[in-house]
Amino acid sequence: MSIRLQVLLDEEELQAMREYALEQGMTLSEWVRQTLRKAMHLRPGDDVDGKLDCVRSAIRHEFPTADIDQMLSEIEEGYGSGP
């Protein structure tokens, strides 16, 4: 059994979604259903192994860094040197 879901959007959002759905070759209703299904599968916390793999990959890299006070000073100096 299908149940209707009502969602309130402003006109610009609705128009952008309609255009995107059309570009994908589907109705707005089908695009919304597919997008909601995808969102349910991407819930944070569901893929603990995937998160751990990302962390393990990140810690294999080394990047140059400096003392925090030096970095903050250089950032502040950069604000005044704009175009």
40-52 confidence digits (pLDDT tens): 887 766 678 888 8
Q: What is the value of pTM for the model shown?
A: 0.51
Has residue 72 been placed in a domain?
Answer: no
Spatial distance between the Cα atoms of 59 and 73, rounded to a whole number of angstroms: 26
**Domains: count for the chain:** 1
Has residue 18 been placed in a domain?
Answer: yes
Nearest one of 32, 26, 23 to 5, comparing CA atoms: 32
Has residue 77 been placed in a domain?
Answer: no
**Whole-number mean pLDDT of the chain?**
88
Longest dimension (CA), the chain: 63
Has residue 51 been placed in a domain?
Answer: yes
The predicted model gives 26-36 an average pLDDT of 95
When comparing pLDDT for 74 and 15, which is higher? 15
Has residue 79 been placed in a domain?
Answer: no
Has residue 73 been placed in a domain?
Answer: no
The whole domain housing 37 covers: 11-61
**Does 76 have pLDDT greater than 80?**
yes
Nearest one of 49, 48, 20 to 32, comparing CA atoms: 20
